[in-house]
Amino acid sequence: MSSAEPWTPVGPDIESVFVHDPDPLHALSEARVPAILLRQAYAPTQCHGLIRRFIERGLMRAPDDPMAAAQDPRTRIDIGTSLGNRGADKEAFLEHAIGTHELFNTLFDGFENPVKIIYDALSTLAVGKQVKVAREPDGRLYGPAIFRVHYGGHTYRPHIDHVVLREKRSQYAVSRFQHQFAGVICFQNDSPDGASTQAILHRCLWTPEIQPYIEAGTFHEYATEHHIDHYRVDLAQGDLYFFNTRCIHEVPAVQGRNPRIVLATFIGYSPDDDDVYVWS
């Protein structure tokens, strides 16, 4: 996957994306670009207001509350339904997703709906396709998106996300899609500008040959040896990015005073499928 051509994202707004490529999701499926990066897709003031609401409603703990941290030592708190974490029990997963739809029906009242921001951007990018919340053939819906709150020390080591290639969840309708992407809004960085923890995308699509390095935690050595390029996605609050989750990616340990908060989705895409499914 390394080549002489630079590997840089397209953006910073939808119009510029289309100047670069008439079919941006297809380009992403082939990892020709590391990401589609839409700056200031959601207003930082709205992020602040919603985070305050999450804390007031007890959906996440306040950053400088040592008592709460002692009672609840989790370094990741989800507001939403994660297929990755809950998918082993399909009935329980779909049941939990009903609760998330109910919660999200009113959670954003008085604010612009940030989930809609992701779906609207994706609908424009997915030329000629229908973007839908992922569903089973009987109509039951997956969670539409998830807030992930990451406290100090939380790390995503080099990995991929793919319901078939990694999670092996063939019992879910989303397994029909060839490609999986993520669409993520930065709700809060862990530190002020410049010093914050940011995701790193490697110019390397997963193959079975790479799996042993991922499992052994030696992907960085592999990448150095094979001159694999990478792109660090420096996000500001309110920025939205889409990337191919079959590219090896990571988020180094959160270190700042604040939790790193994202609104995240996964996206199923096949070039010849009229539907694009979104879930979390």
CB of 220 to Fe ion, least distance (A): 16
* Spatial separation of the C-alpha atoms in residues 159 and 96, rounded to whole Å: 26
Map the footprint of ligand AKG across residues 169-188, applying CB under 6 A: 182, 184
Q: Considering the complex, state which of residue 107 and residue 199 has its C-beta at the smaller distance from ligand AKG.
A: 199
CB of 74 to ligand AKG, least distance (A): 16
Q: Considering the complex, state which of residue 243 and residue 277 has its C-beta at the smaller distance from Fe ion.
A: 243
Q: Considering the complex, state which of residue 161 and residue 190 has its C-beta at the smaller distance from Fe ion.
A: 161
Q: Is 161 in the site for Fe ion (CB under 5 A)?
A: yes
Q: Considering only residues 81, 245, 258, 280, which one is a binding residue for ligand AKG as defined by CB under 6 A?
A: 245
b/e 20-49 (16+ beta carbons within 10 angstroms → b): ebeebbebbbebebbbbbbeebbeeebbee
Q: Which does residue 184 bind out of ligand AKG, Fe ion, none, counting CB within 5 to 8 angstroms by kind? A: ligand AKG
CB of 121 to ligand AKG, least distance (A): 16
Evaluate whether 91 touches 169 at the Cβ level (below 8 Å). no
Q: Considering the complex, state which of residue 46 and residue 167 has its C-beta at the smaller distance from Fe ion.
A: 167
Stretch that binds Fe ion, among 64-72, 123-131, 147-155, 158-166 (CB under 5 A): 158-166
* Residues making contact with ligand AKG (CB under 6 A): 156, 161, 182, 184, 199, 245, 249, 251, 262, 264
Binding residues for Fe ion, rule: CB under 5 A, are 161
